[in-house]
Structure 1
């Protein structure tokens, strides 16, 4: 089965929390990786999302970065909340 990964950078203007990550995250830029697999048997190329991960600063002192599996809806909710907050 063919798979592909898409990378994008999302920016948060305010500190935020997202389901799947057990600590609050500071404002900043975050890399989001989406893995997709090709749907076989169609007459055209089509992919379905199989995983969404976010790379964040590590909460522990032993590591610099951690990768967490998150839901795409949870990410969209966090972005919507961030955009609706007044700038400080």
Structure 2
């Protein structure tokens, strides 16, 4: 099965929480990697998301490091929406 990965930078203006990350994350730019697999048997190319990961700064004792954490795309969208709403207030 054909796979592809997409990378994008997203920005948060305020500190935020994500399910699966047990701490408050600081505002800033974050790289998000989305893995997708091709849906076979169609007359056109189509992909389905199979994984979403975010690169976050390491926890307090490992701040110089970066962690790749698997997250739900819905949780990420919710965090982005909350950040946009809070930034307008």
Q: Please say if 1:8 is aligned against 2:5.
A: no
- Deviating more after overlay: 57-66 vs 29-38: 57-66
Q: Give the equivalent residue in structure 2 for 1:85.
A: 86
Q: Which runs of 5+ in 1 are unaligned?
A: none
- Deviating more after overlay: 28-37 vs 58-67: 58-67
TM-score, normalization by structure 1: 0.93
Paired residues, number:
88
Q: Give the equivalent residue in structure 2 for 1:57.
A: 57
CA contact (8 A) 2:57 2:63 kept: no
CA contact (8 A) 2:11 2:29 kept: yes
Q: Give the equivalent residue in structure 2 for 1:28.
A: 28
- C-alpha distance in 2, partners of 1:28/1:63? 15
Structure 1 residues 23 and 42: alpha-carbon distance in aligned structure 2, compared to 1, 3 A threshold: same
TM-score, normalization by structure 2: 0.92
Q: CA deviation at 1:78?
A: 0.2
